[in-house]
Amino acid sequence: MSAYSYSYGKFDAVFKNPAEVAGPVCLKLRESEVGLTPESLLDASRDENAPLHNEFEWDDTVAAEKFRKEQARCIIRHLVIQRIDATEEGYPKERAFIYTGEKASGYVPMKDALSNDTWRTNLLKAAKRDMNYFVAKYHRLEELTKVIDDMREILGEDEAS
């Protein structure tokens, strides 16, 4: 038997229903003829009595604005800087902007995030959250054992479990 939860508490405050409600709904769809897709979950949630109905924004005006904001976030998150100067430290490509963890300051260039103690701490927390996600998703792939072991060492076994 499995217990459901959201990714390391990251989304606990985002969703109205606990993961114990969403998990069985998703599993039921997975086992149905339609399968589990974003479209099938949305369709299964349209009825006002559906367990996950209130997770979705049904007002099209509000939903459209939220979607456009997500598109804007997507643009910002996917911009990378291609390093041309070989003397520049780091990898040839890096994200152009990093979220500071603070709404007021928003996204900043990586060098700015690294030079601010609070932003650097937030970036490190985000990196560890991403490592936890990576470990949870790929821990069964033998080809990644070394990488995952290294991540678990950084995270401490209690966080990666």
Q: What is the pLDDT of residues 103-152, one digit of tens each?
A: 888 999 988 999 999 999 999 999 998 999 999 999 999 999 999 999 99
**Domain edges within the chain:** 7-55, 59-96, 110-161
Look at residue 11 in the predicted model and tell me its pLDDT.
Answer: 59
Look at residue 8 in the predicted model and tell me its pLDDT.
Answer: 56
Angstrom distance (rounded) from CA 151 to CA 128: 9
Look at residue 61 in the predicted model and tell me its pLDDT.
Answer: 96
Q: What is the pLDDT of residues 28-84, one digit of tens each?
A: 999 999 999 999 999 999 999 999 999 999 999 999 999 999 999 999 988 988 777
pLDDT over 50 (residue 14): yes
At 160, the pLDDT band (50, 70, 90 cuts) reads very low
Closest among 25, 50, 47 to 38, alpha carbons compared = 25
Residues 96-107, mean pLDDT to the nearest whole number: 88
Determine the 3-state secondary structure of 106 from DSSP: coil
Query: Is the model more confident about 15 or about 45?
Result: 45
pLDDT over 50 (residue 161): no
Angstrom distance (rounded) from CA 96 to CA 76: 8
Residues 6+ apart with CB under 8 A from 141: none
Look at residue 29 in the predicted model and tell me its pLDDT.
Answer: 96
pLDDT over 90 (residue 26): yes
CB 132 within 8 Å of CB 155: yes
Q: 145-155 vs 117-138: helix axis angle to the nearest 10?
A: 140
Half-sphere exposure of 161 (CA within 13 A, CB side): 3
Taking the CB of residue 120, how many other CB atoms lie within 10 A of it? 15
58-81: buried (b, 16+ CB within 10 Å) or exposed (e) per residue? eeeeeeeeeeeeeeeeeeeeeeeb
